[in-house]
Amino acid sequence: MQNITYVFLGDRKKNFVNECIQSFDFYYGVQFFNTDKYELNIIEFNKGKSKFLNLIQKIEYYFSKLIGLPINFSKIINFKNFKIINNSDHVFYISESTGLSALPLIICSKFFYKQNTKHSLFVMGLFSEKKVYFGFKLVNKFLKKLLILNFDNLLFLGKNEYNFVIDKYSSLNKFKFLPFCLDTDFWAKKYKINKQNQILFVGNDSNRDISLLSNIVKNTPNINFKIISTLTEVKKIKYSNTEVINGSWGSKFLSDEELRDIYKSSLLTIIPLVDSLQPSGQSVALQSILCGTPVIISKTKGFWDLDLFQDNRNILFVEGSDLKRWLSVINKAVSDKERLKLLSFNGLNTASKNYNLQILKKELYKLIN
């Protein structure tokens, strides 16, 4: 029996144990190891429970800002977690933060206890150019090299970031492209819901172009907008045609089922982005497409798969952040219902075939075997 461990940031274990999950999008295949063939462990980041620990975590937060990498050693390093990782056959880390923060445990297990545990990290934006303060670039590079050295597999969720790293580290055989797979059975579930004169925006990551979003809303008063986000900048968008919902993944304010209804009732989902190598907007775009709602998105260098998604076929791309260009694409799409139907049909077929959880299951089983 193989011992499999997943390391999450949080908000997964309780839902998984209590079997109250609506969509398995952000569980990265943990459900496939909940069988008699495997012994499954789940580690999550600890939350500060003392003034001292809170102080340490504040220091780590500012240090992370300086080096441009998410470090949270205090949230994972303890003897209990070390024992679990040390006794595992394979450990999956679902973000750069979990992988970087667990590095001391991994190094200790490999070099002092000579364990043969395999470590796999899901990567989404680790190699994008983020702000690094003067004097800390060497620290940034050192930690990335240390991570690459100690992980057996780096699983890239964006094809462009994967290609970028392959060109840079062509001699290494530990980089793999693995599409971000969604719970297609949940999002593509068929039921009737009326479309509204509404455009949707969903997202909380820092690569969302909120300034552009605000200008789009301001200049299309004849269309209603529903914005779902916890970003501070979003609170400044106050127009009569706008409804803002303070929501994010796993929040108590909005369930996956409620979000699915909002997707399905919208004409379009728009995702204006700042250009970055990180495959931002991927989950939102795919969820919307699976719900039958076409997507307009910025064409960034980090877009996850330009081979599968083609402009005006199954998605609508906008180059750059020019407001007139965005308004033109939006107005043309809204005024052409037949075009929307075609985009919806093609997009749903593409996402269903290429981003379903069975693909993830197959690839994960390959890794552990």
Q: Is the pLDDT of residue 249 over 60?
A: no
What is the CATH number for 20?
3.40.50
Indicate the residue among 148, 178, 208 that finishes a domain.
178
Same domain, 8 and 77: yes
Q: Is residue 360 part of a domain?
A: no
Indicate the residue among 178, 208, 223 that finishes a domain.
178
Same domain, 195 and 158: no
Looking at residue 326, its pLDDT comes to: 97
- At 320-359, the pLDDT tens digits run 999 999 999 999 999 999 999 999 999 999 999 999 999 9
Q: Is the pLDDT of residue 208 over 90?
A: yes
Same domain, 154 and 207: no
Measured from the Cβ of residue 320, the count of other Cβ atoms closer than 10 Å reads 11
Q: Is the pLDDT of residue 250 over 60?
A: no
Q: Is residue 155 part of a domain?
A: yes
Region 99-123: mean pLDDT is 91
Looking at residue 130, its pLDDT comes to: 76
Whole-angstrom distance, CA of residue 102 vs CA of residue 300: 31
- At 251-266, the pLDDT tens digits run 567 889 999 999 999 9
Q: Is the pLDDT of residue 10 over 90?
A: no
Q: Is residue 367 part of a domain?
A: no
- At 272-321, the pLDDT tens digits run 999 988 889 999 999 999 999 999 999 999 899 999 999 999 999 999 99
Q: Is residue 215 part of a domain?
A: yes
CA angle 334, 336, 339 (to 5 degrees): 110
Whole-angstrom distance, CA of residue 30 vs CA of residue 18: 14
Q: How confident is the model at residue 246 (pLDDT cuts 50, 70, 90)?
A: confident
Q: Is residue 363 part of a domain?
A: no
Q: Is residue 320 part of a domain?
A: yes
Same domain, 82 and 41: yes
Please give the mean pLDDT across all residues of the chain: 92
Same domain, 298 and 339: yes
Q: How confident is the model at residue 248 (pLDDT cuts 50, 70, 90)?
A: low
Same domain, 74 and 154: yes
3-state secondary structure of 179: coil
Same domain, 36 and 51: yes
The parent domain of residue 349 ranges over: 184-354
Name the more confident of 138 and 172: 138
Same domain, 159 and 207: no
Question: Ranked by mean pLDDT, which of 9-18, 136-145, 273-282, 354-363 comes out on top?
Answer: 354-363
Region 224-239: mean pLDDT is 92
Same domain, 161 and 233: no
Same domain, 267 and 328: yes
Whole-angstrom distance, CA of residue 270 vs CA of residue 246: 17
Q: Do 259 and 228 meet the contact criterion of CB atoms below 8 Å apart?
A: yes
Q: Is the pLDDT of residue 131 over 80?
A: no
- At 40-64, the pLDDT tens digits run 999 999 876 778 888 888 899 999 9
Q: Where are the alpha helices (DSSP H) in the chain?
A: 13-17, 51-67, 79-86, 96-101, 103-111, 137-150, 159-168, 184-187, 210-218, 256-265, 282-290, 323-335, 337-354, 357-368
Q: Is the pLDDT of residue 105 over 60?
A: yes
Q: Is residue 286 part of a domain?
A: yes
Q: Is residue 211 part of a domain?
A: yes
Same domain, 271 and 285: yes
Q: Please state, for a pLDDT cut of 70, what percent of the chain lies above it.
A: 98
β-strand partners of 5 = 41, 91
DSSP secondary structure string for all residues of 45-62: PPPP-SHHHHHHHHHHHH
Same domain, 195 and 284: yes
Measured from the Cβ of residue 246, the count of other Cβ atoms closer than 10 Å reads 14
When divided into structural domains, the chain yields a total of 2
What is the CATH number for 320?
3.40.50.2000
Indicate the residue among 153, 178, 203 that finishes a domain.
178
